[in-house]
Structure 1
Amino acid sequence: MQLLFYKYQGTGNDFVLIDDREETFSKNDTKLIARLCDRRFGIGADGLILLQNDNMTDFKMVYYNADGNESSMCGNGGRCLVAFANFLGVIEHEATFIATDGVHFAKIEGEEVLLQMIDVPTIEEHRTYVFLDTGSPHHVQMEEALQTLDIQAVGAAIRYGAPYHEDGSNVNFVKQLSDDAFAVRTYERGVEAETLSCGTGVTAVALAMHHLGKTTKNEVNLETQGGRLRVSFEKNGLGYKNIFLKGPAKQVFKGTLSWEL
């Protein structure tokens, strides 16, 4: 096989991006996608994203986790895809695109991509955590000993445990740094490990912290292992609207893959 691919990253959350406007990629080949994302036998990435044509918007986003399965929305992946679409000349500085959770608006400002996320109508508040869906399901809980926490063990136990079980949830651990800043570490389902950053995850954290009264700000800084992201939002009854995920999205390299998988 011969495959032209591009590698992008957004605060360390990295993706294999493929221009599939002619729809030639074997998108149902789970083993192929997992192999491409493998960091030893393939290109290496947290996920793979196809850019396809769409009749109603500028393009379509099709996202796969590193395990090869098509998955729910990926915020950093969406921002990287917008930068990729700009690189390809599909868009200039603004875009609308369709993803698994609906239509998104985005714009490019300098080196940053600002991505509008879906509205979040409700947040579930529990004794030790909150749960919300920002395009992907997210468990959010506070952890003072954030840097020494065993993210792999604790994250996996929560991801597979009650009440999530087989469907699972992404798991975010949070430490407050100031009134408008929080440190975040995320265990991602599908990757089944900690990623350096998670866009839908930091979005969930920002909304959860505002919901819990940990911040009074409408724009929050999120410090991930891979860098800083910002999330702005408006309160809307019990939920939130006009939510934007903001941060860098950079092309790392491109290449041609030529081997039999």
Structure 2
Amino acid sequence: MRIAFSKMHGLGNDFVVLDAREHPLPPLTGDVVAALADRHTGIGCDQLVLIEPSKVADWRMRIFNSDGGEVEACGNATRAVGLLIGGEVSLETLGGTITARPDPKGIAVDMGEPRFGWDEIPLAYAMDTLRMPVGWPLDEQELSQPVAVNVGNPHAVFFVDDAYAIPLADIGPVIETDPIFPERVNVNIAAVTARDAITLRVWERGAGITRACGTGACATAVAAMRRGLVDREVTVNLPGGPLVIAWGPDNRITMTGPASVSYTGSFDWGDYA
């Protein structure tokens, strides 16, 4: 059974997109996802995205990290799916229904309202989410007092002087799997460079360091806005390129940036199942 796919990316955060809107696919297990995502023996991607029919939106979008685990939301993947489908489209996700539409700067995505309650992140117990009273040792210093934000999936945002001076590959998995985050967490290392600019690196739970993370950009921008560090519209500069994040008076986040099709192809399902 041959399955068509589209290889897409948003600022280098890359996806294998499977379109099951008209023809259902066999059950998509974590092992199949991990095999397809393997960059040496599979197609290779940060996330696998499945588009299916929905009863509550135009279409349903399911997102799987490269380790096979399903996650609630992915901003870059939403832009990719928006580009693939075309026009304005509503998408059901595990993190809620979101919309995507064409924009002169690429694809604009309404990411919904951020959540800040400790039980909405979720955290293991009640605490201040604007300045979490926790820290992790890092060489001769401590990475501490992150902002916790849920934008469809959980994020911890740390503000530092130099985002590239932090050994993210070492500290990222430690924080991701800390028991204080019962559903694990995405780790954001950010440096505010102007009232309208942030430099950001992200360790994504289940995927590791990626060139861009849409929900991470949203979470970091909102975290900086809550602390009064930036204005209500900001450019978040990731290794893969910039995303524009606006937090409107209606409490909804809009993320705008590019998405691209790298190539299309097909594979034999039996080679990965």
C-alpha distance 48-27 of structure 1, shift in aligned 2 (>3 A):
farther
Paired residue secondary structure (1:125) = coil
8 Å contact from structure 2 (residues 33, 68) kept in 1:
yes
Kindly report which structure 2 residues correspond to 1:75-224, keeping only aligned pairs within 5 A, or say none: 75-86=75-86, 93-110=87-104, 112-122=106-116, 124-126=129-131, 127=133, 128-164=145-181, 167-191=183-207, 193-215=208-230, 217-224=231-238
Partner of 2:267: 257
Q: How far, CA to CA, are the matches of 2:48 and 2:92 in structure 1?
A: 16
**Superposition deviation, residue 235 in structure 1:** 4.8
Partner of 2:31: 31
**Superposition deviation, residue 71 in structure 1:** 1.3
Q: How far, CA to CA, are the matches of 1:177 and 1:115 in structure 2?
A: 24
Identity of aligned residues (%): 29
8 Å contact from structure 1 (residues 101, 118) kept in 2:
no
Paired residue type of 2:49: I
8 Å contact from structure 2 (residues 73, 153) kept in 1:
yes
Partner of 1:228: 242
Query: RMSD across aligned C-alpha pairs, in angstroms?
Result: 1.6
**Superposition deviation, residue 121 in structure 1:** 4.2
8 Å contact from structure 1 (residues 182, 221) kept in 2:
yes
Q: How far, CA to CA, are the matches of 1:51 and 1:246 in structure 2?
A: 21
Partner of 1:89: none
Q: How far, CA to CA, are the matches of 2:56 and 2:176 in structure 1?
A: 36
Determine which of 244, 247, 255 is the counterpart of 1:245.
Answer: 255
Paired residue secondary structure (2:217) = helix
TM-score by length of 1: 0.90
Deviates more, 1:144-153 or 1:204-213: 144-153
Paired residue type of 2:195: D
Q: How far, CA to CA, are the matches of 2:169 and 2:54 in structure 1?
A: 38
Q: How far, CA to CA, are the matches of 2:57 and 2:42 in structure 1?
A: 32
Q: How far, CA to CA, are the matches of 1:6 and 1:111 in structure 2?
A: 22
8 Å contact from structure 1 (residues 111, 249) kept in 2:
no
C-alpha distance 24-155 of structure 1, shift in aligned 2 (>3 A):
same
Q: How far, CA to CA, are the matches of 2:233 and 2:66 in structure 1?
A: 31
Structure 1 runs not aligned, ≥5 long: 87-92
TM-score by length of 2: 0.86
Partner of 1:90: none
8 Å contact from structure 1 (residues 6, 18) kept in 2:
yes
Paired residue type of 2:18: I
8 Å contact from structure 1 (residues 79, 249) kept in 2:
yes
Between the two proteins, the alignment pairs up a number of residues equal to 248
Structure 1 residue ranges (4+ consecutive) displaced by more than 3 angstroms after TM superposition = none
Paired residue secondary structure (2:4) = strand
